[in-house]
Amino acid sequence: MPEQAINHLKEGFAIDKSLGNKRGLGMVVPILCRALQKANRRDEAVEICAQAVKIAPRNKHILKVKNELESFSKPKGKGEIKKGVIKCILQKESGFRFGFIIPADGSGDIYFGESQIPKKIMPLLVEGLPIVVEIERAERGPRVIRVWLDENL
């Protein structure tokens, strides 16, 4: 999304925030936060979402974005945690997307499928993106339980 569009959304956010317009925030915040994520400005999206939650703590649209941002950034703690980069993303004829991650520790590639990754996050994944994954051991090898950005790389 062009920078100009993000700036217009931010202006709308500022107006709704200053007026305490919960309904308006519920419309602009999801679009703005997703646009910021696509522009690799996740920290800004998190901050805007946090401000919106303070004003409209029960707005389902804002809470949905908050949950998406949190699910993309925090491990569950059930599996083994590994850092790596997206090796490739492929698509079957059926449309199902999947791919592989090259772990930083040099162990074998890790499989992921779109069923393990929230639908809103899958489009953000690109080849070479540094990520952290939580994995489980499956019959055919390690596979992703969850994925989030590696903000330290």
- Amino acid identity at 78: K
Q: Fill in the DSSP letter of residue 134.
A: E
Q: What is the pLDDT of residues 71-102, one digit of tens each?
A: 655 545 567 889 999 999 999 999 888 999 99
Q: In terms of C-beta distances under 8 Å and separation of at least 24 residues, what long-range contacts does 89-98 make, across chains too?
A: 89/125, 89/126, 89/127, 97/122
Decide: helix, strand or coil at residue 105. Answer: coil
| Prediction pTM value | 0.51
2-51 pLDDT, tens digit per residue, is 788 899 999 999 999 999 999 999 999 999 988 887 777 878 888 999 99
Token output for 68: 């998406």
Question: In 56-90, where does DSSP find H-type helix?
Answer: 60-71
CATH T-level assignment (fold) for domain 80-149: OB fold (Dihydrolipoamide Acetyltransferase, E2P) (2.40.50)
Domains of the chain: which residue ranges? 3-71, 80-149
